[in-house]
Amino acid sequence: MSQTPLKLFNSLTRQLEEFQPVHPGEARVYSCGPTVYNYPHIGNMRAYVFADVLGRTLSFKGYKLTHVINITDVGHLTDDADAGEDKMEKMAAERAQSIWDIARHYTEAYWADVKALNIRQPAKWTIATEFVPAMIDFAKSIADKHCYELDSGLYFDVSTVADYGRLARAVTEEGEGRIDEVEGKRNAADFAIWRKTPAGEKRQMEWDSPWGKGAPGWHLECSVMSGQVLGFPFDIHTGGIDHREIHHPNEIAQNQAFCCTNGLNVPANSGANVWMHNNFLVERSGKMSKSSGEFLRLQLLIDKGYHPLAYRMMCLQAHYRSELEFSWEGLQAALVRLKRMVMAVATLRGQGEPAPEAGERFSAYLERFGAAVADDLNTAVGLTVLEEVVALKKVDAGQKLAAIAAMDSVLGLGLLALDRTDLRLRPKAATITEAEIEAVLTERKDARAAKDFATSDRLRDELAAQGVEVMDGDPLGWDWKLGE
């Protein structure tokens, strides 16, 4: 195994730091999960591919991993501010459906995407609504010293903790986030930790509390679920960069208050030692917005004939802290790269089982691969080392497979399970069957063998009219593909 120590970029200190676990030999990680009021878009899924690669890297480096991802099924407002509607309640009202049904449906859709992208199951999925009593207890323990009550809820006074917003300042220096005006707030950045149901209204999801009927604030949820399951301080907290501005500074403020009030000796009181953020997946034409008709869900990629792991490959090719621009051409290129690997590995698999160990011949490659991912998860470099191994000739096939398997335990491309036919997906719009395509291609091959190029061209045009692109001389040996 690679000897290079793991270095991760900590948004809190703005620097690369060597990973020092709180509990020797262990790594405890919490990732902010989805708000289940709609399908996730592929940008959201980039956040979980990143968290998965982090978890796999920690496992690869020999740490015993405990990963927790939450499901926000209550409490997330339509933006980061305190006023406005709960995303879940809003969608339930629009659809005239029970909020619980909405939550179940979109949680399952999210889990399907998690599976399709080879994202490993965390040790625990924490469901926010199952932690409401613990949230009330947490809020009660900090209310006296750190909170005040207004008509609309219980608010956290950010001036009661040291250095509020340092995480956001790490990015903007100004800490400019969206904060709204609520009459009576002591500081502009104060936020609701408990939101009271307005008098005369009834929410589908509401609980009794010392501050009246209502629902927890979104920031409170993550503080409670992470602290309860992993214990303060835990090692790493992840999320998308949008969370650096408001959600995570507010979680940190609550954690500081809780740890001080409850006599916990937590270094810097942030709750987690390392805060990590993935950059955004961007798309120029606005299809990432969930309000646009054809928004970029993983299923849309699949319907167009792309294997979901081509999207994972696309994510791995970029550094998680860089913006990644989505394009269909980029996805196609990632698919081709994946195909090349899958075909080479499938050929090797045909020659036997992976050896128990990769052996001496591969140790320098594994060391370089390990050093790449230990360098703040540089999967882009890791992929090139993997490709060097795939291209090695005159080496023991079993040992080579073992080396590839070790690298793929971090990358998660499923190289030891996929075949090239798995990657050939049927676009939803296609009507021609694979057997029909193969039959025409055999006929065409015969025509070409007989130098009957007129027939050969006619058959190719007929296939093209049905969306089948024949790829003569494709170095990958992919003789055809179904287009859109």
How do 64-71 and 468-470 pair as beta strands?
A: unpaired
Query: Which residue's CB comes closest to ligand AMP?
Result: 240
Confirm if 339 and 423 have CB atoms less than 8 A apart.
yes
Phi, psi at residue 448, to the nearest 5°?
A: -65, -40
Burial 149-162 (b: 16+ CB within 10 A, else e): ebebbbbbbbebbe
Q: If contact means CB under 5 to 8 A according to the sort of partner, which of ligand AMP, Zn ion, none does residue 47 touch?
A: ligand AMP
**Counting contacts by CB under 5 A, is residue 47 touching Zn ion?**
no
Cβ closer to ligand AMP: 177 or 240? 240
Count of residues in contact with Zn ion, rule CB under 5 A: 2
Q: If contact means CB under 5 to 8 A according to the sort of partner, which of Zn ion, ligand AMP, none does residue 43 touch?
A: ligand AMP
Confirm if 226 and 233 have CB atoms less than 8 A apart.
no
Phi, psi at residue 400, to the nearest 5°?
A: -65, -45
Q: If contact means CB under 5 to 8 A according to the sort of partner, which of ligand AMP, Zn ion, none does residue 307 touch?
A: none
**Smallest distance, Å, CB 179 to ligand AMP?**
18
Which region, judged by CB under 6 A, interacts with ligand AMP, from 159-167, 273-281, 390-398, 459-467? Answer: 273-281
Residues 6+ positions from 350 with CB-CB distance below 8 Å = none
Confirm if 146 and 92 have CB atoms less than 8 A apart.
no
**Counting contacts by CB under 6 A, is residue 301 touching ligand AMP?**
no
Interaction pattern, residues 211-240, with Zn ion; x per rule: CB under 5 A: -----------x------------------
Q: If contact means CB under 5 to 8 A according to the sort of partner, which of ligand AMP, Zn ion, none does residue 222 touch?
A: Zn ion
Which region, judged by CB under 6 A, interacts with ligand AMP, from 32-40, 139-147, 202-210, 341-349? Answer: 32-40
Amino acid, res. 444: R
Cβ closer to Zn ion: 153 or 271? 271
Distance, CA of 155 to CA of 147 (rounded, Å): 5
**Counting contacts by CB under 6 A, is residue 160 touching ligand AMP?**
no
Cβ closer to ligand AMP: 37 or 234? 37
Distance, CA of 233 to CA of 23 (rounded, Å): 10
User: Residue 417 corresponds to which tokens in the numbers above?
Assistant: 């399970």
Q: Give the Å distances, CA to CA, from 304 to 265, 325, 414, 430, 435.
A: 53, 19, 21, 9, 20
Element (H, E) at 17: strand 15-18
**Counting contacts by CB under 5 A, is residue 335 touching Zn ion?**
no
**Smallest distance, Å, CB 290 to ligand AMP?**
9
CA angle 226, 227, 230 (to 5 degrees): 75
Which region, judged by CB under 5 A, interacts with Zn ion, from 3-11, 30-38, 131-139, 442-450? Answer: 30-38
**Counting contacts by CB under 5 A, is residue 71 touching Zn ion?**
no
Half-sphere exposure in the Cβ direction for 222 (13 Å, CA): 28
Query: How many CB atoms sit inside 10 A of residue 18's CB?
Result: 9
Interaction pattern, residues 193-232, with ligand AMP; x per rule: CB under 6 A: ----------------------------------------
**Counting contacts by CB under 6 A, is residue 44 touching ligand AMP?**
yes
Which region, judged by CB under 6 A, interacts with ligand AMP, from 39-47, 176-184, 450-458, 476-484? Answer: 39-47
**Counting contacts by CB under 6 A, is residue 377 touching ligand AMP?**
no
Residues lying near ligand AMP in the complex (CB under 6 A) are found at: 32, 34-35, 43-44, 46-47, 239-240, 242-243, 278, 280-281, 288
Residues lying near Zn ion in the complex (CB under 5 A) are found at: 32, 222
